[in-house]
Amino acid sequence: MTQQMRIRQRIASMIELPVEKVNWHAAVADSPINSFLLVETIVDLQEEFKVRLFHEDVGRVTCLEDLVQLVAGRMEHGDSFGREPVSDSVAHSG
């Protein structure tokens, strides 16, 4: 099973729909996922797949497939952060 499939299955279980019934490309606002459930799903995916997402990442998510690709991309980096953990002496970039 591909990483994307595992992520889709996880999301589908969170929103209590079969994977094949989820419209992965529908706008999040039009999907059967309210904002609280979306937050829960985003947090759950990070715990489940051991990745970390940030404000600017989630801001680019317009549909559930974006979320799938975002998490899968983070997993492929091989570490738990999409960017370096920030120390106090290092200024943020971007």
Partner 1 sequence: MINENEHWILSYYRVSEISGAQFFAQLARSMRPGAIQVDMTQHFSDEARHAALWTKCITDLGVEPLRLKGAYQDLYLSAAGIPANLMEVLAITQVFEQRVLRQYSHHLTLPNVSEPIRYTLKGIMDDEKWHISWIRRELHRMEAEYGKNEIHGTLKRLQEADREVYGKVTAEHAERIAYFNP
The site for partner 1 (CB under 8 A) is made up of 35-40, 42-44, 46-47, 52-55, 57-59, 85-88, 90-92
Place of tokens 């979306």: 38
The CA distance from 66 to 58, in Å, is 9
H/E element, 41: helix 35-49
Of the pair 1, 36, the CB lying nearest partner 1 is at 36
Place of tokens 């079969």: 18
Q: In whole angstroms, how close is the CB of 37 to partner 1 at the nearest point?
A: 6
Q: In whole angstroms, how close is the CB of 72 to partner 1 at the nearest point?
A: 16
Q: In whole angstroms, how close is the CB of 19 to partner 1 at the nearest point?
A: 19
